[in-house]
Amino acid sequence: MLNRRNFIKTIVGTSVAVPGILNANDNLGKDIKFDEIADVIIIGSGVSAHICAAYLVKNKIDVLMIEKMDRIGGNSALSQQDFAVLNSDLQIKAGIKDSEELFLNDLNKAGAGYNHLEHSLRIIRNSNEAYEFAKSCGVKYADKLKFLGGHSVARSVETIGGGGACISTLNEFFIKHNGKIKNETKCDEIIQDESGKIIGVSVRENYRFNRNLANDDRENLSGDKKHYKARLAVVFATGGFSRDIEFRSIVNPRLRLAKSPSSLGQTAGALKQMLKVGAIPTQLALSRFSFGIPTEDLIYGIMVDCNAKRFLNEDGDRQGLSNKILAHMEKINTTIYPIIIFDSTGFANSHDPNRMQSFITAGKMKKFDSLSDLANNFKLNENDLSKTMQDYETGISNNKDEFKKDLSKIKNSSMSKAPFYAMTAAPGLSYTPGGVYADINMRVLNISNYEPIKGLYAIGEATGGVHGQSRLTSCSIPDCMTSGIACAKDILKGV
């Protein structure tokens, strides 16, 4: 927020903006000279930004999108973009019986009651509209449904070409409809007028993100300062903060040691800007992990820490296992991730052997002819490792596992038949469920009175409280898309 002295005086009665036409407000830059002006300024260039932008430009609104990174698309460009949709054409064609109640049940179960119901319903009820809108912009979906974990029916559509294709298609659509985008332009501050209404942002053009800094938001001074004015609204579509080790360790110390497969720019800077103008921080301590290997297969192997010792029951979901791994690493004071080991019997028990094979081709999992090769490769003490494996086998023969694993489920897996297969077990923080709280029109609410902060919207992963304790698979994309459209519609109401 700029300090009071820099506030711009607004003339009463000119707050209704006319898209595409300069109105009286625009000339008020007494204290601030605005370098750019647009009806709507969208911060971020992921799927939520692009869907919102596409909807607005299609309705002739003049939109300027800015992105701090060189890369367009943030995490959305890395994402598979599996997309849960209620009553899609594909569900109807396949005769799948789905309903609002079923979908809500699934979301509530994952969210464990931490999820705001009105947002769950926003996602469910508008998912098909969003999917159809994305298609109308040219995004392509495979002609099959996915039945993903945590969903009670097959309801997820598959984006052809994943997030990369989705973002480049939407970007083309946006540009074709006269949308403007500037990358390497970072939003630094939200500008308010005297009444508290959001009227623009202060940015740096020619900004170059520096991955070597401990905190790019605080330390990076690159770029040329500019001021942009928004006639109608500023939309924060700024994603999560999974790469911001400093910030995520403050909101939840358990997250400190997590790895992150996220885009390098996923930091908390934008979130902090919204908090400064009074947004409500919501559920920032929550996390969502990816694991690199289907966790249902882990029961057939063992996981050992850097001392070659087991420390948990390998049978668990990725959220639970990730938490236990990170807690154990803190306890034994190491930054080294544990190793997952299968012998050839355990490896063969995988529910998806082709996928396991693909991990080997990708170099993610390695095959070892002897235990000493494995121990060498991961710098484990061979004797200790061998003892751990023997203990595990003794447990199997006595039908009593040290960590209470249900041995009746391991399908005769053992831990002694070469070749061995192993990979690092690194909990990957790929999504941060926390963010600012917004109403279902995606207006950011003010912490002092719970009223919307005029002119400020937040969409996509930047918002919090939507998914609750654990976000259901393939439900970020419908969240990003439905929030983008809800925001666009609310902005259009004011035109």
Partner 1 sequence: MQKLLMILILSIFALGNEFVIKPHHIEVKLKCTDCHKEANEKDYKALDSNSCLSCHGSKEKLAKRLDFLKGKNPHNSIHDNANLNCYTCHNEHKPSFNMCNTCHNTKTWMREIK
Ligand X SMILES: Cc1cc2nc3c(=O)[nH]c(=O)nc-3n(C[C@H](O)[C@H](O)[C@H](O)COP(=O)(O)OP(=O)(O)OC[C@H]3O[C@@H](n4cnc5c(N)ncnc54)[C@H](O)[C@@H]3O)c2cc1C
Q: Which is nearer to ligand X, 15 or 242 (CB)?
A: 242
Burial of 170 (0-12, 13-18, 19+ CB in 10 A): buried
Q: Which is nearer to partner 1, 113 or 363 (CB)?
A: 363
Return the residues of window 155-174 that contact ligand X according to CB under 6 A.
Answer: none
Residue span binding partner 1 (CB under 8 A) among the ranges 121-129, 343-351, 355-363, 400-408: 355-363
Residue 364 binds which entry of ligand X, partner 1, none, with Cβ cut-offs from 5 to 8 Å by kind? partner 1
Residue span binding ligand X (CB under 6 A) among the ranges 263-271, 276-284, 306-314, 376-384: 263-271
Exposure string over 182-203, b if 16+ CB within 10 A, otherwise e: bbbbbbbbbbbbeebebbbbbb
Among 176, 225, 355, 364, binds partner 1 (CB under 8 A): 364
Q: Does 78 bind partner 1 (CB under 8 A)?
A: yes
Q: Are 312 and 398 in contact (CB under 8 A)?
A: no
Return the residues of window 243-282 that contact partner 1 according to CB under 8 A.
Answer: 261, 264
Closest approach, Cβ 404 to partner 1, in A, equals 34
Contacts 24+ apart (CB under 8 A), 18-22: 18/231, 19/60, 19/61, 19/62, 19/231, 19/232, 19/495, 20/60, 20/61, 20/62
Among 361, 398, 399, 408, binds partner 1 (CB under 8 A): 361
Q: Are 283 and 89 in contact (CB under 8 A)?
A: no
Q: Are 459 and 46 in contact (CB under 8 A)?
A: no
Closest approach, Cβ 172 to partner 1, in A, equals 11
Contacts of 212 (CB under 8 A, 6+ apart): none
Q: Does 160 bind partner 1 (CB under 8 A)?
A: no
Q: Does 70 bind partner 1 (CB under 8 A)?
A: yes
Closest approach, Cβ 182 to ligand X, in A, equals 9
Closest approach, Cβ 401 to ligand X, in A, equals 33
Query: How many angstroms separate the CA atoms of 313 and 385, rounded?
Result: 17
Which strand (E) or helix (H) includes residue 122?
Answer: helix 117-136
Closest approach, Cβ 352 to ligand X, in A, equals 17
Query: How many angstroms separate the CA atoms of 1 and 332, rounded?
Result: 43
Among 460, 464, 465, 468, binds ligand X (CB under 6 A): 460
Tell me which residues touch partner 1 (CB under 8 A).
70-73, 77-78, 161-165, 168, 208, 211, 261, 264, 361-364
